[in-house]
Each structure stands twice: as C-alpha cells, then as structure tokens.
C-alpha cells in the first residue's frame, strides 16, 4: 500500500538571474510503515524534496513545481494551502539536524509539547497534555519526564533534546515522519542511540519514515530501501542491501568509495561533475519492496 508517491517531480526557482531548475524529475514511493532513505551530498535536492512533501515550498511565490506528489492518495497540488497546513503536524511531521535550535528558547518543554498535542487533539487540557507528554517522553527512555517538561531547551543536553523532538514528532501518530539528517549536530554515540530509539518507535507506531542523510553507514542500518540522489536526479534506487551490496551507478560507487574506513587510507575526491554521473538511473529489482 503506497503512502507517498512522487512522480516526475520538477522544481524550478525563478531568480533575478533567471530560472534555476533544482529537481529534474524525481520519482519516489514510500509504503505504509516503510523506512526509506534519500542519500546524496549537500545541495543535491534532498531537503527541498522534504519541503515539497510538507507542502511548504508550494506556498513560496518564486518556486515552480510540476509533477505529482500524492500523499494518502490525495494530490498535494490540488489541495488548498489550508488543507496542506492541516496535514502538517498531524499526518506528517519532521525532525531536524539540530534538535536544540528546533525548540523555542523562551518556552519550557512542557508548554511546547502541549502545543504539539493541541494540533492533534484541539482543546486538550493542560493536565491531560502533561500526562500524555510525560508518557511520550517515557517512550523515548527519558527517566525524569517531569524534570524535562519543566526545563528550558538550553538546560538539556543535545541528546535529550533530540529525544524530546522525536517524542514530539510522533506525539500525534503521524503516518509519515521526515527525518532531515537527524542528529548530525550530535556526537556519534548519542546519534546511534537516538536512531535505535527512533527505529523501535516507528516500528511500534507503524510510522513510515523518509530518512534524508549523507551518512551512508547510518542509512545502511536504518533503511529498508534507498534512493541515491545526485544534482536533482535519482541515480540509483532499490532495497538497501542491493544498492549497498551491488552499487551499479558511477555516482553511487564514488559515494561509497568516499566513506572513511577503519583500515585507513586516503579518501578519493568525488569530482564536481563527471559524465559518468549523468548516466541513466538504475533501479534494482525489488526483493519484496515496491
């Protein structure tokens, strides 16, 4: 069952200096409860794709979007700005690189959590919101939910804030969670712990995840299927094991080769452009996945 389906998505920004095409026809699908990774280097178009799925770029005047983005069978382009807004924070939510800056520094965690819950169940009482928040925080292995709810974001560690963000993102039981390089701002062990936690939670809740990252190691462990994106084009896709085990596109190979290894040895430079990178996309036959 397909939850999100993107077909031939193109994005152009109209700038003073003329139009710039950022996405050149991306197709991507995520099934219910599936964990899908979108891998590519900075500037390849990962984050704008997420913003289109959330319906945020559609409201930007200088952005031209063509192709279809269907979420739960509804074409986002046909929805009004209001309908798109009502989907955000309920049917889909997102977590970011830097958890601490994602929380407003002037409010305690408690009230911020309540606002998130209020999106899902409007008019929720303060006491009920607090109880639900504490329960959600317990699910992300926070031992003293009350202390955390009474703290300001800057009083908590980055790992703690990351868990709070995950708890908030899943609080309204969204069907789709967009994770934009989650935890890149954290140290590696904390990042690994929170990813483990997140994997467990999304499995419990049946939430589908679009995991946006340039960290191949993390993607390999986390995702069921992987899309490799290069300069606004999908160059390779398929089950994670197939893409990683048998990378066939020149760009995917270059990306894999650029991973630091424990055994040492220098990193090869990925050239900015290479004719081989513009070769047609390769789709691994799905062993079970769509």
Partner 1 sequence: MRRALHILAANPLTLTGAVLVLLVVLAALLADVVAPYPEHAGAVVDFLNFNKPPSAEHLFGTDLVGRDLFSRVLFAYRISLLLGVVVLVISVPVGVTLGLMAGYLGGRREYVLMRITDVFLSIPPLVLAMSIMGVLPPTLLNGMLAVTAMWWPWYTRLVYNIVRGEKVEGYVLAAEIIGASKWHIMFREILPNCVPAVVTKITLDFGFVILIVSSLSFLGLGVQPPTPDLGSMVAEGARYLPDSWWLAVFPGLAILVAVFGFNLVGDGLRDILGAEQ
Binding site for partner 1 (CB under 8 A): 54, 56, 61, 85-90, 93-94, 96-98, 100-107, 115-116, 119, 165
Nearer to partner 1, 40 or 182 (CB): 182
CB of 133 to partner 1, least distance (A): 14
Q: What is the 3-state secondary structure (H, E, C) of 210-246?
A: EEEECCHHHHHHHCCEEEEEECCEEEEEEEHHHHHHC
User: Among 30, 27, 26, 25, which Cα is nearest to 4's?
Assistant: 30
CB of 104 to partner 1, least distance (A): 4
Nearer to partner 1, 56 or 77 (CB): 56
Nearer to partner 1, 82 or 261 (CB): 82
Half-sphere exposure of 157 (CA within 13 A, CB side): 9
Nearer to partner 1, 90 or 220 (CB): 90
CB of 120 to partner 1, least distance (A): 9
CB of 148 to partner 1, least distance (A): 17
Assess contact for 91 and 72: CB atoms under 8 A: yes
Nearer to partner 1, 177 or 228 (CB): 177
CB of 29 to partner 1, least distance (A): 22
Angle made by CA atoms 242, 244, 250, in degrees to the nearest 5: 105
SS3 98: coil
Query: For the residues of 33-49, what is the DSSP string, one character each?
Result: T-EEEEE--TTSSHHHH
């Amino acid at each position: 069952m397909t939850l999100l389906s993107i077909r031939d998505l193109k994005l152009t920004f109209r700038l003073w200096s003329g139009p710039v095409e950022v996405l050149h026809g991306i197709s991507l699908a995520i099934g219910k409860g599936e964990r899908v990774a979108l891998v590519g280097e900075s500037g390849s178009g990962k984050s704008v794709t997420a913003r289109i799925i959330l319906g945020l770029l559609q409201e930007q005047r200088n952005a031209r979007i063509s192709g279809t983005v269907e979420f739960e069978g509804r074409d986002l382009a046909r929805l009004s700005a209001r309908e798109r807004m009502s989907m955000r924070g309920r049917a889909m939510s997102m977590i970011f690189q830097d958890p601490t800056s994602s929380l407003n520094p002037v409010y305690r965690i408690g009230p911020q959590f309540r606002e998130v819950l209020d999106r899902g169940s409007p008019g929720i009482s303060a006491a009920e919101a607090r109880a639900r928040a504490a329960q959600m925080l317990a699910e992300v292995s926070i031992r003293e939910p009350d202390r955390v709810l009474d703290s300001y974001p800057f009083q908590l560690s980055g790992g703690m804030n990351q868990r709070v963000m995950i708890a908030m993102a899943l609080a309204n039981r969204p069907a789709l969670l967009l994770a934009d390089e989650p935890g890149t701002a954290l140290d590696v062990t904390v990042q690994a712990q929170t990813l483990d936690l997140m994997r467990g939670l999304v499995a419990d809740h049946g939430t589908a995840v679009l995991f946006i990252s340039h960290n191949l190691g993390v993607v390999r462990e986390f995702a069921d299927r992987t899309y490799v994106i290069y300069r606004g084009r999908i160059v390779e896709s398929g089950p994670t094991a197939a893409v990683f085990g048998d990378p066939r596109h020149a760009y995917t190979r270059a990306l894999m080769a650029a991973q630091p290894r424990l055994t040492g040895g220098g990193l090869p430079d990925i050239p900015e452009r290479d004719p081989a990178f513009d070769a047609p996309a390769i789709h691994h036959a799905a062993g079970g996945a769509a």
